[in-house]
Amino acid sequence: MNKRDYQKEEMEIAIYFDQEEKLFHIQSKDMSYIFDIMDNGQPGHLYWGKKLNAFRKRKRPADDFRGILTALGQEYPAYGTLDYRYPAYQVQRDNGTTITELRYDSHQIIKGKEKLKGLPATYVEDDDEAETLKVRLLDPLAGLEVILSYTVYSDYPVITRSALFKNTGDRYLYILRALSTCVDFPDSDYYFLQLSGAWARERNLIKRPLLPGVVSIDSKRGNSSHEQNPFMALLKGNADEYQGEVYGFSLVYSGNFLAQAEVNRYNQTRVTMGINPFDFRWKLEKGEEFQTPEVVMVYSDSGLNKMSQVFHNIYRKRLARGKYRDLERPVLINNWEATYFDFNTEKILKLAREASELGIELFVLDDGWFGRRNDDTSSLGDWYVNKEKLPEGLKYIADEINKMGMKFGLWFEPEMISPDSRLYEKHPDWCIHVPGRKRSLLRNQLVLDLSRQEVCEYIIEQVSSILESANISYVKWDMNRQMSEIGSAALPADRQRETAHRYILGLYRILEEITSRFPDILFESCAGGGGRFDPGMLYYMPQTWTSDNTDAIERLKIQYGTSLVYPLISMGAHVSAVPNHQVGRITPLKTRADVAFFGNFGYELDLTSLSQEEKEEVKKQIQFYKSVRRLVLEGNFYRLLDPFTGNNTAWMLVSEDREEALAAYYQLLAEPNPGRYSIKLKGLDPDKKYRIVETDEVYGGDELMYAGLEIEINPFRNHDFRSFIWKLESV
């Protein structure tokens, strides 16, 4: 194809190859990604950014260096051949050496997108939605083949990347490093943005400038973790929420990961992301393959909010799957903070009756219903009903709750095992452990070894047996501890460092099997709250318990940060009791609901202890949420005021057709003698009129966006933790 053939207004295809220049031009909505095959046979990176109609290949700054690669942009670099930056991959041969040189052999452009074997990934429902480029690289001396996959979607400024390793030689290879993507930027004028925190304060925004050297985030805990989320973004110069260039990277994986930006001596930046190479080594026998997880890469020319909307749309429409992907989610009540382990059939049904009268649609029975589970010291792995607490069994409770007009849901923690359990007594080697070393307990439990097929089969059958025993419509799938003493009794010595990744592959196999067997059940993932809130889990379960911290004020930061990547419909958000069980704060019932409305709405408190006035307020909250939950499912989200930098937070949702919107404003601490506040809304149609349902006032969309909506705070009735919420309808 001639390099001028793709200079057209309307593009019929998305990926072009210029044979003469050996140049690949990948185009999607608003975006171009360009690389070529350099003179040394390696793929070299040239451009990623705003869409170009054509690209004239330029002379590389290091061409005169005669092969010195340390200043060249590359697509999938190795270490050891005059590039001293961190590589995208590293492979060790049977002779102990780790020098490899992958060179271009061929490529293929196909319609649509293939599934990744054993791994979650974005998908297509029609082959015309996307195109995929597969670039085949070879190192004949090492007997190594790597296929780089690039998928571009027609409707999203998104590229997904992954790599497939194949051993084509006669001897084994060890993969020491196999990252999913590498992008070399020509400069370093960026801020590095990450989502960091800890248990009960997940996904806080951290931003810092890039400087010479390495900035990285990672997890070595066996899951994606509370501490770091498998996401990073580079913000160009002064880019902010609504202006400037932003490059987002999100890894579709639930285990140990690495996301890194390295600035070299020429102030060029290399971004890499994938499975964490720390304590990782994968043996690749003759003829075997290894597939890396997928990285979803988003380019925005209009700041962070556009990047977020792209992630929201593709993750909601082309990552989440199943019946509930496009369905409104039920309003639920979870008994955990109402009862903890102290419950019986009578107490559960009493709480359920109260919930039914208030309009709640789903009752969830949390931890404590199985084995001899009266606290957190026993019974994980023993998935049979605790007849001392629930002598009539789960079916009776489910049937009684169904008679009240509600669905019934159940909590599980299938990946764990208690030393005080029948399962551990029978199979003490089924946990992750190293022979001769102590088995550290966290929350009085150990982690089952999902690298073992028999353990996976046990979990599948035990969970399936419970789900078949009663009319269960919802499952909360929890994981309350991370890995330690990582090793497997079933793996040989030269494969021990494969354990953590094999665990994740086993988990994905379990989730694929169970969610396929029970397609009518709504699954929600959880890991001590938000310890595994990642795209890999969203592929199997369309929502995640956002955090164990249910305090409304803390949730402003948690939900704001989570929204950077994940759609609101993926976030579990509940109204809980006061004083709050995590921080002891007392906030108004209205404020607690106004925060939780922007997610999968529910309650986690003892409804029977509420006053009649509070019950009436809860009833109105539920009615209101039911009137806006389609907007929560499908609307475009706009962040207006940042809780990390000020006393106030604001955000809003706007329907795709801009006919309706939901806006909220939250004040943390009261101020003496406050002035007049206004917030400028986003995403409305400037030519439409909007009625505010709560006041019946009518404003122009242009007035609300450019002049703002005034907030009236009475200086004599001002108090901490106030919230205002507005439902807007076009007239």
What DSSP line would sit under 394-461, residue for residue?
Answer: HHHHHHHHHHTT-EEEEEE-TTEE-SSSHHHHH-GGGBS--TTS----BTTBEEB-TTSHHHHHHHHH
| Same structural domain, 231 and 349 | no
| Tens of pLDDT, residues 270-306 | 999 999 999 999 999 999 999 999 999 999 999 999 9
Q: How far apart are CA 185 and CA 245, in angstroms?
A: 13
Is the pLDDT at 714 greater than 80? The verdict is no
Cα angle for residues 655, 658, 660 (degrees, 5° grid):
65
Q: Which structural domain, as residue segments, surrounds residue 683?
A: 648-730
| Same structural domain, 314 and 382 | no
CB 258 within 8 A of CB 272: yes
| Same structural domain, 569 and 687 | no
Is the pLDDT at 88 greater than 50? The verdict is yes
Pairing of strands 474-477, 407-412: parallel
> Is 342 part of the annotated catalytic residue set?
no
Is the pLDDT at 65 greater than 70? The verdict is no
* Residue 577 within any structural domain of the chain: yes
| Same structural domain, 271 and 241 | yes
Q: What is the pLDDT of residue 673?
A: 81
* Residue 621 within any structural domain of the chain: yes
Is the pLDDT at 4 greater than 70? The verdict is no
| Tens of pLDDT, residues 416-425 | 999 999 999 9
Place of tokens 């969610």: 515
* Per-residue pLDDT band at 671 (split at 50, 70, 90): confident
In this structure, what token pair is assigned to residue 79?
A: 């270490």
Q: What is the pLDDT of residue 716?
A: 57
| Same structural domain, 417 and 291 | no
Alpha helices in 441-541 (DSSP H): 453-469, 499-517, 535-538
| Tens of pLDDT, residues 103-143 | 999 999 999 999 999 999 999 999 999 999 999 999 999 99
Domain boundary among 610, 634, 658: 634
| Same structural domain, 589 and 615 | yes
Q: What is the pLDDT of residue 717?
A: 65
* Residue 1 within any structural domain of the chain: no
Domain count, the chain: 3
Q: How far apart are CA 661 and CA 628, in angstroms?
A: 9
Mean pLDDT, the chain, rounded, equals: 95
* Residue 2 within any structural domain of the chain: no
Place of tokens 């996959």: 149
Q: What is the pLDDT of residue 57?
A: 81
| Same structural domain, 606 and 693 | no
| Same structural domain, 662 and 562 | no
* Per-residue pLDDT band at 7 (split at 50, 70, 90): very low
Q: Which of 478, 534, 551, 594 is catalytic?
A: 478
| 538-547, 597-606, 704-713: segment of lowest average pLDDT | 704-713
Which 3 state secondary structure label does DSSP give 277? coil
| Same structural domain, 185 and 268 | yes
* Residue 293 within any structural domain of the chain: yes
Place of tokens 């439409």: 688
| 51-60, 151-160, 227-236, 451-460: segment of lowest average pLDDT | 51-60
* Residue 248 within any structural domain of the chain: yes
CATH of the domain at 576: 3.20.20.70
Secondary structure E strands in 276-343: 282-284, 289-291, 294-300, 332-334
| Tens of pLDDT, residues 21-33 | 999 999 988 899 9
Place of tokens 């199985």: 370
Residue type at 338 in one-letter notation: A
Cβ neighbors of 668 (< 8 A, separation 6 or more) are 553, 556, 643, 647, 648, 649, 720, 721
CATH of the domain at 92: 2.70.98.60
CB 361 within 8 A of CB 331: yes
Cβ neighbors of 337 (< 8 A, separation 6 or more) are 550, 576, 577, 581, 604, 605, 606
Is the pLDDT at 359 greater than 80? The verdict is yes
Q: Which of 83, 184, 534, 548 is catalytic?
A: 548
Q: What is the pLDDT of residue 70?
A: 82
Look at 304 and 10; give whichever has higher pLDDT: 304
| Tens of pLDDT, residues 526-548 | 999 999 999 999 999 999 999 99
- As a whole number, mean pLDDT of residues 170-187 equals 97
| Tens of pLDDT, residues 464-503 | 999 999 999 999 999 999 999 999 999 999 999 999 999 9
> Is 449 part of the annotated catalytic residue set?
no
CB 11 within 8 A of CB 28: no
* Per-residue pLDDT band at 713 (split at 50, 70, 90): confident
| Same structural domain, 95 and 177 | yes
Is the pLDDT at 63 greater than 70? The verdict is no
| 4-13, 75-84, 361-370, 692-701: segment of lowest average pLDDT | 4-13
CB 362 within 8 A of CB 406: yes
Place of tokens 């008994």: 335
| Tens of pLDDT, residues 67-85 | 567 888 999 999 988 899 9
CATH of the domain at 695: 2.60.40.1180
| Same structural domain, 283 and 344 | no
* Residue 9 within any structural domain of the chain: no
* Per-residue pLDDT band at 62 (split at 50, 70, 90): low
Q: What is the pTM of this model?
A: 0.96
Domain boundary among 299, 318, 337: 318
3-state helix, strand, coil in the chain (%, to 5): 20, 30, 45
Is the pLDDT at 643 greater than 60? The verdict is yes
Is the pLDDT at 1 greater than 70? The verdict is no
| Tens of pLDDT, residues 203-260 | 999 999 999 999 999 999 999 999 999 999 999 999 999 999 999 999 999 999 999 9
Q: What is the pLDDT of residue 304?
A: 98
Q: What is the pLDDT of residue 677?
A: 83
Domain boundary among 303, 318, 333: 318
Is the pLDDT at 395 greater than 80? The verdict is yes
* Residue 161 within any structural domain of the chain: yes
Look at 173 and 66; give whichever has higher pLDDT: 173
| Same structural domain, 674 and 569 | no
The H or E element that residue 229 is part of is strand 228-236
Q: What is the pLDDT of residue 466?
A: 98
